[in-house]
Structure 1
Amino acid sequence: MIRKSRDETEIIRKGVLEITVIDKEGRLIKNAVVKVDQSKHEFWFGTSVSTFRLSKHDKAVRDRYLGLLKDNFNSAVHENALKWHSTEKEEGKISYKDVDTILSWCEENNISMRGHCIFWEVEKVVQPWVKNLGREELKQAIIRRATGLTERYRGRISEYDVNNEMMHGSFYKDRLGEEIWKVMFDTAKKGDPDAVLYVNDYDIMTNGFMEEEYVKHIRHLTDMGASVGGIGIQGHFNTAVDAFQVERALNILSKLNLPIKITEFDIDVEDEQVKAEGLEVLYRICFAHPEVKGILMWGFWEGAHWRPRAALFKKDFSPTLSAKMYRKLVFDEWWTKAAGKTDQNGKYSCRAFYGDHQITVTLPDGKTIVREVTMSSKEKNKNLRFTIDN
């Protein structure tokens, strides 16, 4: 499995980065030293963030938490702050304070954000005031919620889970008919036409038949005209990760030709070795699958985690075996660190992971030039020309 995933990762996640160094007269410069250091992956390696639990701790603890967040992840999602029952506990009393706090910090630290979730289909999490609305009042409240949220964060939150866990709940469908699902997607798309709208559900990689049901569910939504743009798979494990089942689920869902994200990953077992091995299995398979665009954990620190023993870092911030495995994969095996010299044609090339890189060119006379570049999977390969002013 590891050999296969490594080979596929090399093909799917990397391209050729070619650098040509010339002077201002267009003469090629050979023997210039070129260093390529990655700064961010295109692939989303993310986590959920909980303002509520974090607010219980003092500044020193918050700073350590945020330091781990910044050092380990390039993307994030609100754990609870964005949910309707958090932003509007009472009708008409809307507060996005916690949402804004998390989003602003992530923007300042170059961490991409997704939105979870606009609606949640499971009745037990629906606010009492929403349950008490009549049919037309409920529909209008849904439209106001989707419009207000997506317009407010247009251009800042790039994707949303529109209606969480539609395969495990039916509150809005029971009240208004399943046509309301299309209304939710249509309204969110109108509020932010550029946002990618996801479905999101669980048991997909842990149950032997749910992936096929998920495909039927998504096709039904698209047949209704809902603008489904991505597939979210939650990934909460209570036992060792089954590599066959994970790969099978991804292959079945990839028939839909939609981007896939693992949106809520964790492994809640006592055995640290099982957790570390499970993390490696899931990350290797997903990173080697062409339709998977990211993996987001559902928390990373024991002091702010809904399933504390699943956390990467203990309450004293010490790393678990899973944390060490995660960093080994992301920042060692899957991180571009290359160096060499330009040849007689002034060229240096290497294979690099898609994402952001810092390129440093040092000339034979000691002069140094530094550039930040982004290498996208859409362009596959990238040719850069460094022109040196003498």
Structure 2
Amino acid sequence: MFLSRFKISAAAVLLFAATNFAQNVLSNGNMEYGDGGWYLWNNPDGPAKVELKLAEPGLGFDGSQGAKLVVKELPKIWWGLQLQPPKFLADSAYYKLTFKAKGNMPINAVVQGGAPDYRQKESASFELTDKWQTYSMTFLADQKGYGVNNVTFHVGLKKGWLQMDDVAIEKLGSLNSDWYAAADSRIDSLRKTKITVKANPDEQVHFKLTKHAFPFGTALALYKIEGNSKQDSIEKWFRSAAKKYFWYGVPENQFKWPEYEPKKGKLKKEELQEYISFAEKNKWKLRGHAIMWGIQQYNYDKHFSNPTSPKECKDFGKYLKLRIERDLKEYKGKFAEYDVWNEPLHEAYTFNMCGWNWLDSAFIWAHQVDPTAKLFINDYNVVAAGETDRYVTLIQGMLKRKIPIHGIGVQCHFGLRPVVPELIHERLDKLAALGLPIEVTELDFGDWQVGMNDPEEVQAEKYETFLRTVFSHPAVSGVLLWGFWDNHHWIKNGGIIASDGREKPAAKTIYNLWHKTWTTDTTATANADGIAEIRGFKGVYEITIDGKKQFIGVE
């Protein structure tokens, strides 16, 4: 009788079943059985000052039992305060984490493995509000068993309070792979265009792409060639290898403020000039990384600009303004774009000390000095992991305040995570809705502590999958690897070229994608009107007509 009155599609039935009958594999996530299994980890090496109430009536959603946390003083390290629900039993499969929360602080939801390395598998970042909301994150549990897939909530990012309830973990089916399967057709549509050349009727015109319009580049570590034969030979080889694979670059360290100006007024212009000269000689676009980075490691916390108390915030602002006005004037026209503020979500020390107004000020000052430069924000785990929502919220606020932000930097240090096109697509779409171009600024695979532990063939597969994914997304406007040679890479064996100069499979895969698959090298015959026409990848073309060559740019 029910079915005779209502028409229900098979898809609706499946959705209904998945929504209503999925099994929650996490016990006591709603704290209705007391605080058993819940735990607050407060790093003893610089602990936070915090108050916690667990499994008390009235603290949960609709007055049920829940948790309330008040952070009065932040931990020494932002991830040093973690609220942990019970561990759960997992298969090697995709799962969905959901929870209800409210508060006035950001939190990170993290899935990680157990000892010894507690490897992070997935993470998401959320800015809580004073109203109860349901938050969610999809993740892959790539280890099977109890205690090797643990959920933690990092709650030491900012002083404030939160309440939490109804934490649940449900197993999902397979992710839809249709979008990635259509990557080649999207690449053809997005990255190619009609190209026409005037010639004589019936004349043969050869079209050869010599450089893509799409920026593909690398972080560089350049050294001056000074006459030492052995060192000069290595340096010349490094620069030649860079030119073989890339046409876009960024100084890895030399423009970071504490590196460029280690002591007040003492500028390392000569070191940075190596990068400027290299880019000009090879007609590369160059990125300035980074105007400001609030990290408290690498002795950057000892830099003269770093505020150590609220009393020093006014001086910090003066130093920052001077840095921007001096250096962007100096390098106007040399750097096409800048990471104005690096890792504001994760390295928020400066904001916690002095306030978030300096983020806006940095962009405003930079735009005033060099209105031709594209200004980017830059952070990690926002595409390689699921910390996208809070990044979106941050950028939305800047756009509403009419701050001159021109692009979104996504670092894409994958660590040991898998490359999942469906999840990358979902995160890119969230960012693309902001209407700004997205640039992959720091791509690599492997963990900074354990190195590259994938076989070289797997590393190559990851690069190909990722590049096909982002090159086929309309909002992505460029890709930078964070280094390419093992000897100049922050991850042990993380480069696409080995220490001895051997090309790994990843290097060959990357070269073949850009120079054999995504390229145009063809001949067309001019029609009766003298027009030769093809459809090819956008970029710089060598056009040959009757043995004579000319170069044209096609966007």
* CA distance in structure 1 between the partners assigned to 2:353 and 2:223 by the alignment: 31
* CA distance in structure 2 between the partners assigned to 1:117 and 1:265 by the alignment: 16
* Aligned partner of 2:389 among 209, 212, 218: 212
Partner of 2:475: 291
Residue correspondence of structure 1 range 121-136 to structure 2 within 5 A:
121-124=294-297, 125-131=300-306, 134-136=312-314
* Aligned partner of 2:412 among 235, 242, 245: 235
* CA distance in structure 1 between the partners assigned to 2:492 and 2:281 by the alignment: 28
- Structure 2 residue matching 1:113: 3-state secondary structure: strand
Asked whether 1:156 is paired with 2:330, we answer: no
Asked whether 1:140 is paired with 2:318, we answer: yes
Partner of 2:220: 49
Partner of 1:373: 552
RMSD: 1.9
- TM-score normalised over the length of structure 1: 0.89
Indicate the larger mover: 269-278 or 196-205. 269-278
Q: CA offsets, 1:68-100, max 9 Å, x none?
A: 111111100010000001011112212222211
Partner of 1:35: 206
- Structure 1 residue matching 2:534: 3-state secondary structure: strand
Partner of 2:253: 80
Amino acid of the structure 2 residue aligned with 1:35: H
Quick one: structure 1 residues 126 and 156, their matched pair in 2 at CA, closer, same or farther if it must change by over 3 Å?
A: same
Greater share of helix residues, 1 or 2?
1
- Structure 1 residue matching 2:377: 3-state secondary structure: strand
Structure 1 unaligned spans of 5+:
22-28, 363-367, 377-390
- Structure 1 residue matching 2:550: 3-state secondary structure: strand
Asked whether 1:350 is paired with 2:534, we answer: yes
Asked whether 1:94 is paired with 2:267, we answer: yes
Residue correspondence of structure 1 range 146-295 to structure 2 within 5 A:
146-208=324-386, 210-239=387-416, 240-268=418-446, 269-270=452-453, 271-295=455-479
Q: Number of aligned pairs?
A: 363
Partner of 1:24: none
* CA distance in structure 2 between the partners assigned to 1:92 and 1:117 by the alignment: 18
Structure having the higher Rg: 2
* CA distance in structure 2 between the partners assigned to 1:180 and 1:347 by the alignment: 55
Asked whether 1:317 is paired with 2:495, we answer: no
* CA distance in structure 1 between the partners assigned to 2:307 and 2:442 by the alignment: 31
Partner of 1:385: none
Give the drift of 1:174: 2.6
* Aligned partner of 1:307 among 491, 516, 524: 491
Q: CA offsets, 1:208-263, max 9 Å, x none?
A: 3x111110011122233421110000001123312112111111110001010000
Indicate the larger mover: 188-197 or 124-133. 124-133
Partner of 2:163: none
Partner of 2:47: none
Give the drift of 1:176: 2.4
Quick one: structure 1 residues 350 and 274, their matched pair in 2 at CA, closer, same or farther if it must change by over 3 Å?
A: same
Asked whether 1:13 is paired with 2:191, we answer: yes
* CA distance in structure 1 between the partners assigned to 2:376 and 2:223 by the alignment: 25
Structure 2 unaligned spans of 5+:
1-178, 447-451
Quick one: structure 1 residues 162 and 127, their matched pair in 2 at CA, closer, same or farther if it must change by over 3 Å?
A: farther
**Percent of matched pairs sharing the same residue:** 27
Quick one: structure 1 residues 203 and 196, their matched pair in 2 at CA, closer, same or farther if it must change by over 3 Å?
A: same
- Structure 1 residue matching 2:528: 3-state secondary structure: coil
